[in-house]
Structure 1
Amino acid sequence: MNSEITFEALHLAVNALEEGLGDYQYAKETQSRLLLIARDGAIQRFEVTMDLARQVVVRVLKEVYRLDEASAKRGWIREAAKLGILVDAESWFGFLSARDRTSHTYDSKIAAEVFGQIPIFLVHVRDLLKRLPSHVA
């Protein structure tokens, strides 16, 4: 029942998110319209990366730590923090909240707030990628 857990999709999403932030910096130096397009693209990449991070962590909780489906999905941040998979649960709750806000409405103020969290999220998701292999070995 233990299928091989891979992190390739999450690695690719993290790299794409990092490129999106680079695009934003480039756009910031050129035109404001391009800046907004790049910001929105980075937010979409954040959404994808956050979703993949959640899926990978839930899968590790279920397959490696044998948490039942409901507990793994409902309490994934707390459980992962208890196990040392995630370092800062409060930050991850903030990222999850930001992710949820982006999917319900488009508001320029919300977009700016979410975008402001992306560089911090990138640090945390890179840390997650470093920690995951030791939890599935």
Structure 2
Amino acid sequence: MEKAVASLALALKQPKDEFIRDAVIQRFEYTYELCWKMVRRQLIEDQGEASVVMLSRRELFRMAAEYGLIDNPQNWITYHRARNETSHIYDESKAEEVYRVAVSFLPDAEKLKEELVQRNAD
């Protein structure tokens, strides 16, 4: 997950053009996927599989916020919706919208990464 977050950060530092935007969107896709899976894995480890496996994504993010993995579950629901849009990006306005979401996602992904590192260092 660390490499994915760093890769997204690097892409977002580049001067934006159509190719960079598309690279950011792709990096957002796989970084988001890794993040939610790591959230799920950490919650299973902390709370037990029975408490987590049947949760919807929305419920998963609420639980993650409750246990301090993330700050705002609504942000993560927004990221999830944007991730779902990435497979349907056929026009500039949708691509721009997902790019903007990716920009706001990066600090939350970095915070999650640090939280996971801290919890697993013990």
TM-score, scaled to structure 1: 0.78
In structure 1, stretches of 5+ residues that fail to align are 1-9, 29-34
**Higher alpha-carbon deviation: 55-64 or 101-110:** 101-110
Match of residue 27 from structure 2 = 45
Match of residue 3 from structure 2 = 12
Computed over aligned residues only, the root mean square deviation of the Cα atoms, in angstroms, reads 1.7
Match of residue 75 from structure 1 = 59
In structure 2, stretches of 5+ residues that fail to align are none
Larger Rg: 1
Distance in 1 between residues matched to 2:101 and 2:66, nearest whole Å: 23
Deviation above 6 Å: which 4+ runs of structure 1?
none
Distance in 1 between residues matched to 2:4 and 2:79, nearest whole Å: 16
| Native 8 Å contact 1:81 1:87 kept in 2 | yes
Match of residue 73 from structure 2 = 89
- Code of the residue aligned with 1:100 in structure 2: it is N
| Matched residues, number | 119
Distance in 2 between residues matched to 1:100 and 1:38, nearest whole Å: 20
Q: Which fold has the larger relative contact order, with Cα–Cα distance below 8 Å and residues 6 or more apart in sequence?
A: 2
Instruction: Provide the identity percentage.
Output: 32
Give the direction of change, closer, same or farther, for the CA distance of 1:60–1:120 in structure 2 (3 Å limit).
same
Selected match of 1:66 from 41, 48, 51: 48
Give the direction of change, closer, same or farther, for the CA distance of 1:74–1:115 in structure 2 (3 Å limit).
closer
TM-superposition CA deviations, 1:58-100 (whole Å, max 9, x none): 1111122214211276622111011111101111111111111
| Native 8 Å contact 2:89 2:95 kept in 1 | no
